[in-house]
């Protein structure tokens, strides 16, 4: 850890103690369960009173994250989208994270609303219910009425949440730096995860950004009567207060078989899935949290969308890669699938391309003969992510998020229609993708972009070449080589030479009885012992990384 982080440790000492206490509690539960300790285990419980000793390792991680608060919950949600980093078991467990937080006191909420809007609450709203209808990790929602009688929902940020998030992010950044020094944690690449978490938290804490997202979705679906995006009120919104239209309807999570027939529930499942597929494949801008609580069935059969704090974007180039990935899976083209994975993923050094292609071919073969109406998309994606993780390939965060959204979407739809198949609805988009690829407008746009890049290259290349030639002429042209993985070998070589020199020198001291003597030359004896310890240390290092006689 850097010296500059010491003031942060001192400043956030209280929060560090809280985090260590929670981690210790859940870690002790793991030790107790593995060692079979019978006494005192009844004291190891979570906040809901659940015994921790019988909980799995993944479940204890989730419970600890829930107890640590909003920032850690968001970290867990980020990691739940990265089974290529943390594995399927932990990613599935983290997807169960709850975002509830105790509501703020009414007087605190009213004071914050008045401060943010710059006017007393009764001047902004005819009525304002100080008791929230819901409370999540970042904010809570209140029902209010405008002076013209319109019923609105007012989302108010929790008091002090920004400071708490800032402290937690500082602590997590320090832990991410430390993780790079621990070999067991290096595969998780926590520094890049932390950078992604910081971006996500900044977006979710900024209600202005959520308002802009909501307005953009409203424009995209303005002509679609089957989709309702709540109207926003910018004049009654700030970075910490968001006022929007109140939607009267039933959340999909509350629908039961008694309320709707089987045919109606199946129709709503397909309608919701079609909305999301349109966002992804046509707009490249999608709602990234499609759990049943964020989808509402409105009178007339329209579906309302809620909570636009988490959205996903797919630029044209990345969307083409994702489309290639899905088309390769649906068309059972293992060669194309391997090419796409290598193209979009960050691959480690020494990747075995042949073995990867063989595993992906077996994966495609396994799902090749499943009919579309019974295609197990969740199982296919899980197995695909397991293969990617096994070979150490890191997918772009936007691709991992999209895969997570598709899995959540299929799970939500199956709550209404148990036999729902998302792949069956994706299949018609293959024709749309092909037509878009061959579109004259798209080809003209690509040519225009290519021409612009060639023009920039033509302007820059002569100057760069002239600079290189001038450096060569002046003798200032340097070539820097980066020897990856060479440092440990050099260090061991140097250590081996020093150990040999110490042993030989100490042996000479012993053989010539160099003073001081205690039956044998003491400096020589000490040197022999030290050289033996260094030799053992060197052998252990070689054994850990690979035996000397191991054949490639």
Domain spans, the chain: 3-100+166-196, 106-163+201-311, 312-440, 445-478, 487-545
CATH number of the domain at 106-163+201-311, please? Answer: 1.10.510.10
Instruction: Give pLDDT tens digits for 215-237.
Output: 999 999 999 999 999 999 999 99
Instruction: Give pLDDT tens digits for 465-488.
Output: 888 888 888 887 777 766 666 667
More reliable by pLDDT, 484 or 505: 505
CA distance readout (Å), 170 to 177, 195, 201, 547: 11, 12, 13, 41
Torsion 395-401-402-407 (CA) sign: positive
More reliable by pLDDT, 302 or 93: 302
More reliable by pLDDT, 141 or 177: 141
Check if the beta carbon of residue 100 is closer than 8 Å to that of residue 92. Answer: no
pTM for this model (two decimals): 0.70
| HSE-up of residue 489 (Cα within 13 Å, Cβ side) | 6
Instruction: Give pLDDT tens digits for 46-69.
Output: 555 555 555 677 887 888 888 888
Closest CA to 383 of 414, 415, 353, 360: 360
Closest CA to 81 of 66, 97, 95, 68: 95
The DSSP call for residue 394 is B
Distance CA 154, CA 157 (A): 10
Instruction: Give pLDDT tens digits for 77-112.
Output: 777 877 777 777 888 888 887 666 778 999 999 999
Residue 34 predicted with pLDDT over 60: no
What is the model's pLDDT at position 25?
A: 72
Check if the beta carbon of residue 380 is closer than 8 Å to that of residue 329. Answer: yes
Residue 39 is encoded by which pair of tokens? 């006494």
Residue 3: band (very low, low, confident or very high) from pLDDT cuts 50, 70, 90: very low
Question: What percentage of residues in the chain have a pLDDT greater than 70?
Answer: 85
């Amino acid at each position: 850890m850097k010296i500059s982080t010491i003031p942060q440790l001192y400043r956030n000492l209280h929060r560090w103690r809280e985090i260590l206490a929670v981690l210790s509690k859940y870690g002790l539960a793991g030790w107790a369960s593995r060692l079979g300790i019978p006494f005192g285990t009844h004291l190891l419980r979570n906040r809901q009173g659940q015994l921790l000793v019988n909980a799995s390792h993944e479940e204890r991680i989730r419970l600890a994250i829930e107890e640590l608060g909003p920032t850690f919950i968001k970290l867990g949600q980020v990691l739940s989208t990265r089974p290529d980093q943390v594995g399927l078991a932990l990613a599935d467990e983290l997807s169960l994270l709850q975002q509830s937080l105790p509501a703020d006191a009414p007087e605190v909420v009213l004071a914050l609303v008045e401060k943010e809007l710059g006017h007393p609450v009764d001047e902004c709203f005819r009525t304002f219910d100080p008791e929230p209808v819901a409370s999540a990790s970042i904010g809570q929602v209140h029902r209010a009425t405008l002076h013209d009688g319109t019923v609105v929902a007012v989302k108010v940020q929790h008091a002090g949440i920004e400071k708490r998030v800032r402290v937690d992010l500082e602590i997590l950044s320090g832990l991410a730096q430390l993780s790079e020094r621990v070999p067991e944690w290096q595969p998780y690449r926590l520094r890049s995860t932390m950078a992604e978490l910081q971006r996500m938290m900044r977006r979710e804490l900024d209600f202005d950004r959520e308002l802009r997202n909501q307005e953009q979705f409203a424009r995209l679906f303005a002509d679609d009567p089957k989709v309702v995006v709540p109207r926003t009120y910018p004049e009654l919104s700030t970075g910490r207060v968001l006022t929007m239209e109140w939607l009267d309807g039933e959340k999909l999570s509350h629908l039961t078989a008694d309320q709707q027939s089987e045919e109606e529930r199946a129709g709503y499942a397909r309608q919701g899935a079609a909305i999301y597929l349109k966002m992804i494949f046509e707009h490249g801008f999608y709602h990234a949290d499609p759990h049943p609580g964020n989808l509402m069935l409105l009178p007339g059969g329209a579906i309302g969308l809620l909570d636009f704090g988490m959205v996903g974007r797919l630029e044209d180039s990345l969307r083409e890669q994702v489309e290639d990935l899905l088309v390769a899976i649906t068309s059972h083209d293992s060669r194309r699938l391997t090419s796409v994975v290598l193209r979009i993923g960050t691959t480690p050094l020494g990747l075995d391309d042949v073995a990867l292609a063989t595993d992906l071919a077996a994966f495609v073969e396994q799902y090749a003969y499943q009919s579309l109406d019974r295609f197990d998309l969740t199982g296919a994606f899980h197995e695909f992510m397991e293969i990617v993780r096994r070979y150490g390939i890191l997918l772009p965060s936007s691709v991992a998020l999209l895969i997570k959204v598709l899995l959540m979407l299929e799970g939500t739809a199956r709550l209404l229609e148990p036999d729902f198949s998302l792949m069956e609805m994706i299949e018609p988009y293959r024709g749309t993708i092909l037509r878009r690829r061959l579109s004259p407008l798209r080809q003209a746009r690509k040519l225009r972009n290519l021409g612009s890049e060639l023009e920039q290259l033509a302007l820059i290349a002569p100057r760069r070449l002239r600079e290189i030639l001038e450096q060569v002429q002046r003798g200032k042209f340097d070539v820097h080589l980066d020897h990856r993985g060479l440092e440990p070998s050099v260090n061991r070589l140097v250590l081996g030479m020093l150990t040999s020199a110490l042993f030989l020198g100490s042996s000479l001291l012993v053989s010539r009885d160099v003073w001081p003597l205690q039956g044998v030359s003491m400096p020589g004896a000490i040197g022999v012992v030290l050289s033996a310890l260094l030799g053992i240390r060197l052998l252990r290092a070689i054994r850990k990384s690979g035996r000397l006689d191991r054949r490639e």
